[in-house]
Amino acid sequence: MTERERRPVVGITTQTLEAIPDQLPRCWVMSQRYVQVLVAAEAIPWVIPLLEHDEATLRGIYERTDALFLPGGVDIDPASYGEARRPACGRSDPARDWTELLLTRWALADGKPVLAVCRGAQILNVAVGGTLYQDVAVERPDALKHDQFPIGGRRRDELSHDVRIAAGSRLGRLLDAAVLPVNSMHHQGIARLAPGLTPVAVAADGLIEGVELVPSDDRFVLGVQWHPEDLVDVDPRMRRLFDAFIAAARAVRR
């Protein structure tokens, strides 16, 4: 098997960085951590620009990839799921929303593996017809504190709360756990779950923290609300998510 056959190509979407006067023009950016963890899992990452409305070029990139990784980032514009923006909704990136929804729908239609984290899990839900809480604390005042961002000395790998994992789910089989402590860096969350998705991880307050396709089949489509890329060094089980994702992508390449 050649190196190209052994290492599948994984598309990673980006985010818009607005121009910084006298320093930088408008850029597309994404955390290096995602790339590093995927490389460690023996993928070849392809960082995808947000070519809004250039469907032909994006299709050309997409067809050269074996799987799609949807990373975390800014809020999703409520217009993407048919709602008006509320005051608690934060900064969004319409070009990213458009690009990710397009790529996600293509990947689902073609059976390509999809791994989605944090915002990515929310995009997955929106792509197939679900909605979001624009701000969990405002719309679910009974909820846990999910927005445990790395400020005030907190680290990205700090564990914030537990999730209960559905028995028999792909996620449960990969992590071999019924209850799992996770980090939590989001203020939006899944409100109405999309048809075709099933909840496979739930926080104590009932917020959905993990989703898979239903009915379950051989396609790898998994979204988690936490950030496993920041936990792989403190909880080796998290590496299994990336290893299984790349194994599925490798099968597509073969």
Smallest CA-to-CA distance from 67 within 36, 42, 98 is with: 42
User: What are the contacts of 88-92 at 24+ separation with CB within 8 A?
Assistant: 88/134, 88/135, 88/137, 88/138, 88/187, 89/134, 89/135, 89/188, 90/187
Structure tokens at 5: 């056959």
**Whether residue 146 lies in the annotated active site:** no
Angle (deg, nearest 10), helices 32-40 and 237-253: 70
The SS3 of residue 176 is coil
Q: Which of 89, 100, 118, 209 is catalytic?
A: 118
**The dihedral sign for the CA sequence 242, 95, 66, 33:** negative
Amino acid at 113: P
The SS3 of residue 231 is coil
Q: Which of 146, 161, 186, 227 is catalytic?
A: 227
Question: Do 81 and 71 touch, CB atoms closer than 8 A?
Answer: no
Residue 229 to residue 214: CA distance in whole angstroms:
25
**Whether residue 227 lies in the annotated active site:** yes
Residue 84 to residue 101: CA distance in whole angstroms:
18
| Residues recognised as catalytic | 118, 227, 229
